[in-house]
Amino acid sequence: MSEFRRQHPLLILLDTGRGLISNLSFALIIAISLPDDIFGGFVGNAVVALLAMFGLSALFNVLRWYFFLYHYEEGLVHIRQGVLFKRERTIKRDRVQSMNTNANVLQQAFGLVTLQIKTAGVSVDAEVNLRAVSKSEAESIKSHLYSNGVRSESEPVEIPKASRFLQGRDIWLAALTSGRFMVLFSVVALIYAQVFEYIPQSYLDQAVESLSTIPLMVVIGIAVGLFLLTWALSAIVFVIQFANFSVRRFEDRLEVSWGVLKKNHVIVKLHRVQAVVVQQGPLRQPFGLCTMLVEVAGGGAKEREKISLLHPLIRRKEVDGFLKDILPEYRLPLATVALPKRALRRYLFRSIVPVAVLIGIIITVFQFWDLPYSWVSLLLLVPAILLGISRYRNGSLSVEGDQLSLRFRNVSLVQVLIMRSHIQSLSLMANPFQRIGRLRTVRSSFLSSPAGKSYSLKDLDSEDAKTVRDWYSRN
């Protein structure tokens, strides 16, 4: 494969389509600023401006497609692009850090995929982004970049060491407990609040009048119905996004794929995995379910979430077995060190203070406007106290072999597993109160995309903190 190739011409359509929305608003701005009498009023102006913009962007995309050339051979991909400013780039096998493919509906109809090749650099976008290549071509490029030494066609396909799939029932469970409906619900509420201002007062009065004649139960019913509807909707979206989820472990890499309308396929080289995160959202915890993520060094910031997904839903009890099969390098700790009793006071203090400030503001405002029932806000203290206790109880740490495990809660319960060789630096911190109480905060920093990241556990006994420090120290 030494000659240069172009991508599929569908790319022109894809790019032009993608630019259409931004062009649309731009064309409208031009149409408004043009004098009325040139192309027969505002509508005429808009149509002409839009066509002109559309034509220009189509022309530009044709040129860009025409001048984008790539070729690949054993161990490297070479790209030559640019209409006016030429740019060439060669990516070699040993720099490649992950390769992903995905395909939207239009691409699937033409049997095309987007192939992204990322290197360990710090740039946000993928280093190579081929957005319209056939499936077989993508596979071929991948195999050229992957195999060490020449791999012949007759060689048997590599068989994964272990694999896991998400079953039908589980994906619905995952969808219903994803907590995304909260986001969607708040978006709906936000849109409502934005639109609210523009509704004429007379309509509002009328609405209030008719509302007051509707029984309260019906109003509550509508609200609950809306809530359930957004929940169901977000669940369906989730299912479509993560259907056919599978994760496969090969000798040197993980391959994760999912999706129906947009198919994703992510390859993570094993030596790039920096940490494993087991996450339990508040909705999932009662069911004993959790999400597993991997922190990966390098890679693009935009694709972050996707890169790091290891399993969208797994039972807590099965995490151990899953790790044994898929990532035997990591394991759940057998014994953990809990936080000392004297840390509870600090945990309670931290979760109560912001709520107490909030309550203070509410009560002051209510008093100022002479509104009743301000004492109800005191009830907010109950969840704050419970959260504080839960944070304290769930905070724990363990050092076993070469692995550090931290468990803590903000809202979700998070357990992080990190290898000693992946911790870039370890910090112990203590404010005066912690020093008096012989407590330390432990923070481990590691490499993640696009920059560093750190996890910390607060208010650990200073002796236990010293144990971690000595474990990490190489002297």
Three-class SS of residue 10?
Answer: helix
- Encoded tokens for 114: 């987007």
Whole-angstrom distance, CA of residue 91 vs CA of residue 438: 52
Match 């909030």 to its residue by tokens: 358
439-447 and 452-461 strand pairing? antiparallel
DSSP 5: B
Alpha carbons 387 and 421: distance in angstroms, whole number: 33
* Whole-angstrom distance, CA of residue 422 vs CA of residue 3: 41
Beta carbon of residue 44, minimum distance to other proteins (angstroms, whole number)? 52
Q: How far is the CB of 140 from other proteins (least distance, A)?
A: 29
Stretch that binds other proteins, among 6-14, 105-113, 325-333, 451-459 (CB under 8 A): 451-459
Options 428, 439, 449, 458; binder of other proteins; rule CB under 8 A: 428
Separation of alpha carbons 44 and 347, rounded Å: 65
Q: Which of 95, 31, 23 is nearest to 54 (CA)?
A: 23
Q: Does residue 96 interact with other proteins by CB under 8 A?
A: no
Quick one: which of 242, 347, 446, 455 contacts other proteins (CB under 8 A)?
Answer: 446
Q: Give yes or no for residue 432 binding other proteins (CB under 8 A).
A: yes
Question: Which range of residues in 46-54, 218-226, 327-335, 441-449 is near other proteins by CB under 8 A?
Answer: 441-449
Minimum Å distance from CB 434 to other proteins? Answer: 8
Question: Residue 429 interacts with other proteins (CB under 8 A)?
Answer: yes
* Burial readout 13-22 (b: 16 or more C-beta within 10 A, e: otherwise): bbbbeebeee
> By CB under 8 A, is residue 456 in contact with other proteins?
no
For the CB of residue 454, give the shortest distance to other proteins in the complex, in Å: 7
| DSSP E strand boundaries for 3-60 | none
Residue 424 in the binding site for other proteins (CB under 8 A):
yes
Q: How far is the CB of 445 from other proteins (least distance, A)?
A: 5
In which order are the strands placed within the sheet that holds 69-73? 69-73, 76-81, 87-92
CB of 451 to other proteins, least distance (A): 7
| CB-facing half-sphere around the CA of 208: CA atoms within 13 A | 7
301 is a site residue for other proteins (CB under 8 A): no
Query: Would you say 367 or 427 has its CB closer to other proteins?
Result: 427
What is the total count of residues that contact other proteins (CB under 8 A)? 30
- CA distances from residue 422 to 253, 276, 297, 331, 367 in whole angstroms, order as listed: 17, 11, 10, 15, 54
Q: What is the 3-state secondary structure (H, E, C) of 209-248?
A: HHHHHCCHHHHHHHHHHHHHHHHHHHHHHHHHHHCCCEEE
Task: Kindly tell me which residue out of 67, 110, 172, 472 binds other proteins, with binding defined by CB under 8 A.
Answer: 472
Q: Measure the CA–CA gap between 329 and 331, rounded to whole angstroms.
A: 7
Main-chain phi, psi angles of 28, to 5 degrees: -65, -40
Nearer to other proteins, 76 or 430 (CB): 430
- Distance of closest approach, residue 457 Cβ to other proteins, in angstroms: 15
Q: Binding other proteins by CB under 8 A: which of 86, 87, 169, 474?
A: 474
Sheet containing 273-280, strands listed edge to edge, beginning at the edge strand earlier in sequence: 309-315, 289-296, 273-280, 413-419, 403-409, 396-400, 337-338
421 binds other proteins (CB under 8 A): yes
Element of type H or E holding 185 = helix 180-196
Q: Which of 436, 456, 460, 467 binds other proteins (CB under 8 A)?
A: 436
Which range of residues in 184-192, 211-219, 401-409, 448-456 is near other proteins by CB under 8 A?
A: 448-456
- Among the residue ranges 175-183, 246-254, 391-399, 421-429, the one whose residues contact other proteins (CB under 8 A): 421-429
Question: String of b and e for 76-102 (b: at least 16 CB within 10 Å)?
Answer: bbbbeeeeeeeeeeebeeebbbbbbbb
Backbone torsions φ then ψ of 424, nearest 5 degrees: -80, -40
- Region from 54-62, 211-219, 392-400, 466-474 binding other proteins, contact rule CB under 8 A: 466-474
Binding status of residue 163 toward other proteins by CB under 8 A: no
The residue (of 259 and 300) whose beta carbon lies closer to other proteins is: 300
- Among 151, 324, 393, 435, interactor with other proteins by CB under 8 A: 435
Which residues in 6-65 contact other proteins (CB under 8 A)? none
SS3 158: coil
Q: Which CB, 268 or 426, lies closer to other proteins?
A: 426
Within 232-271, which residues bind other proteins (CB under 8 A)? 271
Q: Which of 117, 171, 297, 343 binds other proteins (CB under 8 A)?
A: 297
Write out the binding residues for other proteins, residues 269-288 only, by CB under 8 A.
271
Among 256, 447, 457, 460, interactor with other proteins by CB under 8 A: 447
The residue range among 9-17, 77-85, 311-319, 425-433 that interacts with other proteins, by the rule CB under 8 A, is 425-433
Answer for which of 448, 449, 460, 464 binds other proteins (CB under 8 A) is 448
Site for other proteins, rule CB under 8 A? 271, 297, 421-422, 424-432, 435-436, 445-448, 451-454, 462, 466, 469, 472-475
